[in-house]
């Protein structure tokens, strides 16, 4: 009965590979997000989707492509992985999507290590 789940929890891969991280929420929320937390623990938003539509797209390389097949899922695909992509990636969701005051519920994170 996990609210926001991510798979895999750990991902170790070589430079240049393509990988995906999956996220699912069973809260019935309209909006989902991807955040990146680097080695210095800074947590930054990457994308947000509201009802399958992209509404926030921060300055993220084109190698990162989010895909939302339905409003309960937001997957993150990363092409041509680089060493600097190593980080913990968090998925989150919120009920609404148009207000900064909406509480966001975070998943457990996916630790990506690029060798």
Partner 1 sequence: LAKTTQPISMDSYEGQEVNITCSHNNIATNDYITWYQQFPSQGPRFIIQGYKTKVTNEVASLFIPADRKSSTLSLPRVSLSDTAVYYCLVVAGGATNKLIFGTGTLLAVQP
**Residue numbers at the binding site for partner 1 (CB under 8 A):** 4, 31, 41-45, 48, 55-56, 90, 92, 94, 96-109
Closest to partner 1 by CB, 14 vs 66, is: 66
Closest to partner 1 by CB, 61 vs 96, is: 96
| Beta-carbon contacts of residue 28 (< 8 Å; ≥ 6 apart) | 72, 95
Smallest gap from residue 57 Cβ to partner 1 (A): 11
Smallest gap from residue 7 Cβ to partner 1 (A): 14
């Amino acid at each position: 009965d996990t609210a926001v789940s991510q798979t895999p929890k750990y991902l170790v891969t070589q430079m240049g590979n393509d990988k995906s991280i999956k996220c699912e929420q069973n809260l019935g929320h309209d909006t989902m997000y991807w955040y990146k937390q680097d080695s210095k623990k800074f947590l930054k938003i990457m994308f947000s989707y509201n009802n399958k539509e992209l509404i926030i797209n921060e300055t993220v390389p084109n190698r990162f492509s989010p895909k939302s097949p339905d409003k309960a899922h937001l997957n993150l695909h990363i092409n041509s992985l680089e060493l600097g992509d190593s980080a913990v990636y968090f998925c989150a969701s919120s009920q609404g999507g148009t207000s900064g005051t909406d509480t966001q519920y975070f998943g457990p994170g996916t630790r990506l290590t690029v060798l």
